[in-house]
């Protein structure tokens, strides 16, 4: 169980949120080959460690936002707007 | 390795059981092997066993970063069944049930397979219709199944609360489904593989994979470099980590799946009860514990622990079905990292790298697939082409769109 810092509402209980999977995935042009399209639809980094991911505060303000979270310790190092680019790993 | 028999048991009783042979060796890795398997869980050990027993390939190493069966194989909820919706799934899982039926004899190790049946509940008119469709599909696939009325359920499992918040209106039953002793398959396969010459190397973590011109050359480990031209990645929740070392990605999400057992009580539940609608299932082990499982924690994690609220949802659902379990104490509670694929069907076969084979994506239901997963992967490695039972489980289906969408068909608890 972890507290998630919603950019709008502040730190709230995990169960108020819905997980939205890996963030910063860019939809390719529709003319790409099947392999590129399949990679876009289904293939994920699924890293052990730092992960950039989307969450939605479903049972709160409804905002979609991004988290930088460690998938081993569950430590959240950053919550940021869905419009911001992917942070550099150095952060 | 000494055979287990009544005679040997009696003979060893005379010396107070102090002189049994070790069940497997603790070898150091050799410089090279014909096949290296990463992961000494059920699937990895089954692959090694069947490579040796069915294909005569015995120069095999199984590398395990922890200890045998210390990952998901020691964290399962013991259910064996083959009541899947699609033909590809039910023929594969039924092969697995058949192997569970006969492996106790073959491995000379009691797997305590108990075919006490699996009952899937329906709580609404829509559930009843979905169950009928599911039941028909299973029958067409040639797997045993039976629609069960509310009054039959009352007789089959008198401890169920038929008038729960979501009342139990009916269900369907797979008589050949059931449970087996949750970790026996792991010990049995490790013993069997070791006796055929397979080296099981524990405490040996893979840190890198050497590839040259698209062909695997070997693995770098905490116990040195091991050369091999055939490498099988059988690491469940950690498959993406190994794939990354090999230079490709997988359509896998790693998530925690929780389960728990209560204190042991006298026999009260003589079948496996599953409910997709309330997302929970339970069975009673031979030791008397009630084994409870439910849904996964829905976020990426490698932490082997889940959230309290997911656990609470699971317990709440079980207590609605079995109000009398509210008096029981939960003795143990744990989480394993499961590898969820987009269509909740496994990925088993070749990879973009020549000589690397993969077995992953079992998600929340890898236990029941152990024997057939190992048998088909062993065949795939030996022949360098997929076993006929798993041609549909390939990685390319995520490009071609030929998904096997069992998630929608098989409900909860795979």
pLDDT at residue B394 above 50?
A: yes
Interface TM-score (ipTM) > 0.90: yes
CB count, 10 Å around CB of B164?
A: 18
Tell me the per-residue pLDDT of B339-387, one tens digit each, with 9 for 90 and over. Answer: 999 999 999 999 999 999 999 999 999 999 999 999 999 999 999 999 9
DSSP strand E in B92-175: where? 118-122, 146-149, 170-174
Would you call B340 an interface residue with chain A, using a CB distance cutoff of 8 Å?
no
Tell me the per-residue pLDDT of B94-140, one tens digit each, with 9 for 90 and over. Answer: 999 999 999 999 999 999 999 999 999 999 999 999 999 999 999 99
pLDDT, position A88: 80
Q: Are B251 and B304 in contact (CB under 8 A)?
A: no
Tell me the per-residue pLDDT of B312-350, one tens digit each, with 9 for 90 and over. Answer: 999 999 999 999 999 999 999 999 999 999 999 999 999
Residue that the structure tokens 């069992």 belong to: B406
Tell me the per-residue pLDDT of A9-46, one tens digit each, with 9 for 90 and over. Answer: 999 999 999 999 999 999 999 999 999 999 999 999 99
Pairs across A and B, CB distance < 8 A: 72
- The alpha carbon of residue A52 is apart from the nearest alpha carbon of chain B, in Å, by 10
**Token pair listed for B409:** 């068909």
* Of B49, B99, B108, the residue nearest B371 (C-alpha): B99
Q: Are B256 and B301 in contact (CB under 8 A)?
A: yes
Would you call A3 an interface residue with chain B, using a CB distance cutoff of 8 Å?
no
- The alpha carbon of residue B57 is apart from the nearest alpha carbon of chain A, in Å, by 33
DSSP sequence for B174-216: ETT-EE--TTHHHHHHHHHHHHTT-EEEES--EEEEEEETTEE
- The alpha carbon of residue A5 is apart from the nearest alpha carbon of chain B, in Å, by 16
Whole-angstrom distance, CA of residue B241 vs CA of residue A72: 13
Contact A48 B302 (CB under 8 A): yes
Would you call A74 an interface residue with chain B, using a CB distance cutoff of 8 Å?
yes
Would you call B303 an interface residue with chain A, using a CB distance cutoff of 8 Å?
yes
Contact B249 A43 (CB under 8 A): yes
Whole-angstrom distance, CA of residue B42 vs CA of residue B188: 10
pTM: 0.96
Whole-angstrom distance, CA of residue B51 vs CA of residue B198: 9
Whole-angstrom distance, CA of residue B392 vs CA of residue B389: 8
Cβ-count burial B41-51 (b if 16+ within 10 Å, e if not): bbbbbbbbbbb
| Bridge partner list, A11 | A5
Contact A1 B400 (CB under 8 A): no
Whole-angstrom distance, CA of residue B264 vs CA of residue B284: 9
| Cα end-to-end span (Å), chain B | 35
Would you call B398 an interface residue with chain A, using a CB distance cutoff of 8 Å?
yes
Contact B303 A74 (CB under 8 A): yes
Tell me the per-residue pLDDT of B47-82, one tens digit each, with 9 for 90 and over. Answer: 999 999 999 999 999 999 999 999 999 999 999 999
**Token pair listed for B140:** 């067409």
């Amino acid at each position: 169980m972890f507290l998630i810092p919603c950019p709008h509402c502040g730190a709230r209980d995990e169960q108020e949120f819905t997980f939205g999977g890996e963030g910063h995935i860019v939809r390719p042009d529709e003319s790409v080959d099947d392999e590129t399209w399949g990679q876009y639809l289904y293939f994920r980094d699924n890293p052990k460690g730092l992960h950039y991911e989307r969450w939605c505060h479903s049972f709160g303000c409804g905002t979609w936002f991004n988290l930088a979270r460690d998938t081993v310790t569950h430590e959240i190092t950053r919550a940021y707007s869905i419009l911001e680019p992917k942070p550099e790993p150095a952060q | 390795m000494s055979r287990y028999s009544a005679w040997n048991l009696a003979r060893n009783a005379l010396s107070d059981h102090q002189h049994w042979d070790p069940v497997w060796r603790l070898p150091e890795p050799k410089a090279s092997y014909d096949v290296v398997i990463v992961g000494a869980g059920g699937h990895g050990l089954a692959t090694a066993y069947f490579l040796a027993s069915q294909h005569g390939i015995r120069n095999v190493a199984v590398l395990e970063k922890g200890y045998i069966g210390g990952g998901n194989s020691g964290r399962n909820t013991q259910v064996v069944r083959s009541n899947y919706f699609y033909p590809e799934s039910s023929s594969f899982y039924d092969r697995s049930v058949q192997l569970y039926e006969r492996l106790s004899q073959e491995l000379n190790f009691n797997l305590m397979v108990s075919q006490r049946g699996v009952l899937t509940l329906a709580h609404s008119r829509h559930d009843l219709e979905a169950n009928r469709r599911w039941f028909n599909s299973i029958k067409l696939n040639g797997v045993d199944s039976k629609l069960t009325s509310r009054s039959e359920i009352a007789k089959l499992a008198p401890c169920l609360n038929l008038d729960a918040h979501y009342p139990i209106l009916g269900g369907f039953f797979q008589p050949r489904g059931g449970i087996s002793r949750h970790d026996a398959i792991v010990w049995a396969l490790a013993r069997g593989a070791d006796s055929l010459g397979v080296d099981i190397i524990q405490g040996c973590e893979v840190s890198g994979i050497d590839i040259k011109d698209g062909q695997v050359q070997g693995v770098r480990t905490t116990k040195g470099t091991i050369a091999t031209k055939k490498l099988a990645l059988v690491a469940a929740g950690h498959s993406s980590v190994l794939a990354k070392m090999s230079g490709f990605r997988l359509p896998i999400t790693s998530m925690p799946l929780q389960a728990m057992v209560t204190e042991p009580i006298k026999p009260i539940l003589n079948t496996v009860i599953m409910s997709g609608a309330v997302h929970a299932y339970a069975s009673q082990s031979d030791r008397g514990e009630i084994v409870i499982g439910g849904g996964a924690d829905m976020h990426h994690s490698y932490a082997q622990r889940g959230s309290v609220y997911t656990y609470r949802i699971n317990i709440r659902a079980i207590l609605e079905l079995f109000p009398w379990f509210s008096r029981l104490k939960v003795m143990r509670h744990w989480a394993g990292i499961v590898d969820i694929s987009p269509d909740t069907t496994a990925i088993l076969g070749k990879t973009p790298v020549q000589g690397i084979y993969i077995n992953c994506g079992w998600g929340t239901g890898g236990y029941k697939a152990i024997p057939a997963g190992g048998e088909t992967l062993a065949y795939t490695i030996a022949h360098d082409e997929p076993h006929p039972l798993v041609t549909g489980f390939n990685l390319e289906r995520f490009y071609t769109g030929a998904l096997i969408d069992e998630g929608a068909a098989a409900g909860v608890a795979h």
